[in-house]
Structure 1
């Protein structure tokens, strides 16, 4: 994935990431409140080797070197049983020497004769008492037991306390600021991980980048989501200034630059991978927007299984395409003019038992040829490609197919299967139109480089002027 993909992931899942971060901070705060505070008391000892009054400088150096070597062994003696048993007895502790050793830590700075003893306990006063007791008993064990020569001679090793332990005022743990910071970082990492995982596992179409992963066909346009689309499907006619209406005009402009092989009228089959992706409303609004430019447009309801255009446009749909194909009616008798422009609608008519055969028949071919001689654009609303074969059949007779994909609904495998189905039969897929794009967020039609609903200067000129010199 590229940097822009990660930015989109963060933008799309910022609520989840923020919630995980706050949850991590809350968990760290709860842990800090529940855990028992621990206090650390430290004492420092100095180890030396005594020399006689007449000792030479070399003897002093030798004694110091001996002390430096000895402290490495003395460190291990600090938390041994021989020392801690005395501490337990002296302070009357309930813990054993083995249990006490877990809270004792001894160390020696490199190349020194110092020994640092740290004791951790939930009681600050007891921590200081234990540290001082360990220091004094350790010195006694080493000097009078371990390093005492035979006979009445005094030990040459001397251990003195140079920094006695004091009662600590603040607990060493829990470190609340550090715990909160770590909790926030863990929550943030968890939130980002979940967001990336959701994106990887999500196979739905959301943006141009998702379509590029499925097909190399161009994106012809993007249609904004309208929650009231079922109440006013013809948004170009009902509310021309609506951003969604403008996105249909953008689609119209892009469609006018599609170079359909063969010249003449441009006939397009508008279909989708599955149902409920907005193909019928796209076909109707696109036809109206084309007619607004002065173009002659024929809109055919080729969905002979579930026709909708007659209801959307408010026309009589009892007689239509099926009647023309079986010779029961003439095209001129059932083709209905709609609106103030030159938009002519051919409803589906009665639902036949054999839609695929009718749409792929020679009669359908002659019908499209006749319309192509009379109009500038022929739009055919066809059923979903993956549901029935109707769209694939009729697309072979038209100049090309336009595939509709609904943002947040259509899945990449479905879109890929629809593309392969159309290409397998030799149909020319002209491009993809994304519908139901959110109006806000990283998947909106106006986010970053995914700006679909753009106006074009070429639309300022009437259709007749733009096509002057083409013989139309």
Structure 2
């Protein structure tokens, strides 16, 4: 994954990150509130070894080295039962030496004869008493028991308290800022983990990066999601200044670029599965093309669940099926839409054999004739995965425009759909992303595709004359 990919995951999963971070802060604060305050105090002891009354430098060095060697063992002795049993008796504590050892810790800085004894308790006075009593008991055990000469006399090892424990005035734990910081850190880690796990488990197409991971076909455009699209599907006509309408015009422009120089301007608009917005995309693309003054025919090639006549507000009882079986001439069922050079061929009656009709010679001849007479032929075809109709039609055209619904289709489904086209040598002209979110890392920006507001007159002046000279007599 690239750095951009990591940032995209973080942007998409920011809700998880924030929620877990807040939970971590709350957990850290809660633990700090409910935890019993603990007080810590330390006493410092100095270990020395007696030498002669007139010691030499060698005597002092030997004594110091001996003391340092002994200190390492003394640190472990401090929490032994022989030392702590006397402390329990002196302070009249209701506990055992093993339990009391949990409240004590001892350490010696490297290269020194210093022992630092730390006592911790929920009561500050008890902590101080415990530290001082343990230091005294330890000193007595070392001098009078462990290091006492076998033949009698004074011990050569001396343990002296140089810094007695004081009663602490503030608790050492819980450390509220530290608890909150740790809670925040743990929350952020869990939030990031949840965000990346969600991305790893989500196999749906969400944006251009998902499309590029599936195919090398160009991305022709992106259409943002509109929950009201079923109520006004022909957005290019009903609300021409809408950003979504401009997105369809951007699609029109990109389609004209990829098809420049080709004599075949017949395109199939299809999708992987149902519900990705292919029919709406086909209708608005045809409207956007017709805005430039070129002659466009849009055909409802979905002979199973036709939608085009309903979207265009036309009568669809007679149409493509009637033309293919030869019962009605094309001129009688081709309906002009509005005052533009846009003609609609509805699906007609739903036949029992749609695949056979769409793959027939009659369909091939129809498309050849239309391609000679008009500038563009747009075919709304069924989804590629449920049925083979779309792939059959695409083999007779200049190529297929595959619609991919953001958050609707899975990457594996899109890959299978594209493979169904390439396996029969059909050209994939490009992919159109639909249902894109209006905000976030996968949102659609019209300027992204380099086209916004170029007027129909400009495109007409550049392209239409050459087209009109072709088969328009």
Normalising by the residue count of structure 1, what TM-score does the alignment of the two structures yield? Answer: 0.95
Kept in 1, the 8 Å contact 2:294–2:464? The answer is no
1:53-452 correspondence runs (5 A): 53-150=53-150, 153-259=153-259, 263-446=262-445, 451-452=448-449
Contact 1:217 1:432 in 2 (8 A): yes
Q: 1:217 to 1:87 in 2, by over 3 A?
A: same
| Alpha-carbon distance in structure 2 between the residues aligned to 1:76 and 1:465 | 93
Task: Deviation per CA, 1:282-316: give whole Å up to 9, x if none.
Answer: 11101011001000000111111111111111111
* Cα deviation code 1:127-159 (max 9, x no counterpart): 110111011111111112222224552223222
The alpha carbon displacement at 1:367 in A equals: 1.1
Is contact 2:385–2:417 with CA below 8 Å preserved after alignment? yes
Q: 1:31 aligned to 2:31?
A: yes
1:463 to partner: Cα distance: 2.1
Residue 7 of structure 1 corresponds to 7
Q: What CA distance in whole angstroms lies between the structure 2 residues aligned with 1:43 and 1:120? A: 12
Q: Supply the distance in 1 between the matched residues of 2:25 and 2:457 (Cα, whole angstroms).
A: 57
Contact 1:222 1:453 in 2 (8 A): no
Aligned to 2:463: 466
Of 329-338 and 146-155, deviating more is 146-155
Matches of 1:264 and 1:35 in 2, distance apart? 80
User: Equivalents in 1 of 2:371, 2:466: separation in Å?
Assistant: 19
CA drift at 1:268: 0.5
The number of residues matched between the two structures is: 469
Does the CA-based 8 Å contact 1:44-1:114 persist in structure 2?
yes
TM-score (norm 2): 0.95
- Do the aligned partners of 2:297 and 2:343 also contact (CA within 8 Å) in 1? yes
- 1:103: how far off? 1.8
**8 Å contact 1:253–1:456 — kept in the other structure?**
no
1:454 to 448, 451, 455: 451
Q: CA deviation at 1:373?
A: 1.7
Alpha-carbon distance in 2 for matches of 1:453, 1:441: 20
Deviations 1:49-103 (A, max 9, x none): 2345444454344333332222222222211111111101111111111221122
SS in 1 for 2:407: coil
Aligned to 2:42: 42
Q: Distance in 1 between matches of 2:229 and 2:367?
A: 30
Give the Cα separation in 2 of the matches to 1:112 and 1:395.
87
What secondary structure sits across from 1:41 in the alignment?
strand
CA distance in 2, matches of 1:234, 1:54: 110
Distance (Å, rounded) in 2 between the aligned partners of 1:58 and 1:189: 58
